[in-house]
Amino acid sequence: LLRATKPGGVSSEDERFPEAAAHAKGAEGVQTIRVVSEKIDQIMDLVGELVMGRSMMVRLVSDLEARYPREELVGNFQLANAFVERSLSELQRSVMSVRMVPVGRVFKRFPRMVRDLSRISGKEIRLDMRGEDTEIDKALVDMIGEPLLHIIRNAVDHGIERPSEREGAGKPRKGRITLSVAHADGNTAEIKVADDGGGI
């Protein structure tokens, strides 16, 4: 979703179509529009080409500076290039942020799944989730759903023991599966699935 607001917080569409605008506002009152993900990908590709063009400009300005060290026009090129570099970096960060969505979009399907599997298997299991607000690239969110589903299903089927077995081992009757995600560094998110069962 892209935010589309005027500096005052009200879009021009709000002024012309107040009923439609009220309907379009979410729970937080933020004006949004839907954008096909392929269009965002196209913008990302264009930004990538602009980054390559910026690198070419840096080399050209460096060559000009070496050939004409005292030329005033070279200094003006440097100022213009620095301005373009700052603007392009900000554009790149903004486009990247548009692609980011909370990983909770994937996580929200798992509590009910664990409850259903617990009932079918006769086991008592609690699912703890942490870091659902952590944002990752939408393409990754779409990719990790099925692998996580299988990992959690394996934890239920083969990791967590039956209540009687757990009590015999001095454990609480209810087993616990923990699903967590956090940013490991600037470009990496680490997703962990753990259980307190006997293991596979």
Average pLDDT for residues 165-189, to the nearest whole number? Answer: 89
**Per-position b or e across 23-57, b if 16+ CB within 10 A of its CB:** ebeeeeeebeeeeeeeebeebeeeeeeeeeeeeee
- Looking at residue 26, its pLDDT comes to 47
Structure confidence by residue, pLDDT tens digits, 136-149: 888 888 888 999 99
- In contact, 117 and 148? CB cutoff 8 Å: no
Structure confidence by residue, pLDDT tens digits, 17-55: 444 444 444 445 667 777 777 787 888 888 888 888 888
- Looking at residue 173, its pLDDT comes to 94
Q: Is the pLDDT of residue 10 over 50?
A: no
